[in-house]
Structure 1
Amino acid sequence: MSKAAPAKKPAATAPPPGCTLDINDPQVQKAAIRIQASYRGHRSRKEMRETGPPRVLEPLKDVVLIEGSAAKLTCRISAFPDPFIRWSKDGKELRDGPKYRYIFEDPDVVALVVRDGELADLGQYSINVTNPFGQCSDSARILVEGTRAPRAMPPSRAASPPRRPQPIQPRVYPWA
Structure 2
Amino acid sequence: MNRKIKQGDKEYSSFQLFIEITEKRSSAIISLSEPETVNKEMFKLILLLSCFVGSRLRQEDFPPRIVEHPSDVIVSKGEPTTLNCKAEGRPTPTIEWYKDGERVETDKDDPRSHRMLLPSGSLFFLRIVHGRRSKPDEGSYVCVARNYLGEAVSRNASLEVACK
The normalised TM-score by structure 1 is 0.50
Partner of 1:54: 64
8 Å Cα contact 1:127-1:137 kept in structure 2:
yes
Partner of 1:126: 142
Partner of 1:103: 118
**Number of equivalenced pairs:** 96
Q: Which amino acid aligns with 1:111?
A: S
8 Å Cα contact 1:61-1:140 kept in structure 2:
yes
Q: Which amino acid aligns with 1:133?
A: L
1:84 Cα deviation after fit? 2.0
CA-to-aligned-CA distance 1:107-131 (integer Å, 9 cap, x gap):
xx32101232133121001111110
The share of aligned pairs that are identical, in percent, is 26
Partner of 2:153: 137
Larger of the two Rg values belongs to structure: 1
8 Å Cα contact 1:64-1:71 kept in structure 2:
no
1:112 partnered with 2:89: no
Q: Which amino acid aligns with 2:118?
A: I
Partner of 1:42: none
* Inter-CA distance 64–51: structure 2 relative to 1 (3 Å threshold): same
Q: Which amino acid aligns with 1:77?
A: A
Q: Which structure shows the bigger proportion of residues in helix conformation?
A: 1
8 Å Cα contact 2:87-2:93 kept in structure 1:
no
8 Å Cα contact 2:84-2:121 kept in structure 1:
yes
1-structure distance, mates of 2:60, 2:159: 33
Q: Which amino acid aligns with 1:127?
A: C
3-state DSSP of counterpart to 1:118:
coil
Q: Which structure shows the bigger proportion of residues in strand conformation?
A: 2
Partner of 1:92: 102
3-state DSSP of counterpart to 1:50:
coil
1-structure distance, mates of 2:126, 2:69: 21
* Inter-CA distance 132–75: structure 2 relative to 1 (3 Å threshold): same
Q: Which runs of 4+ in 1 moved over 4 A?
A: none
Q: How does 1:146-165 map to 2 (within 5 A)?
A: 146=163, 148=164
2-structure distance, mates of 1:86, 1:135: 11
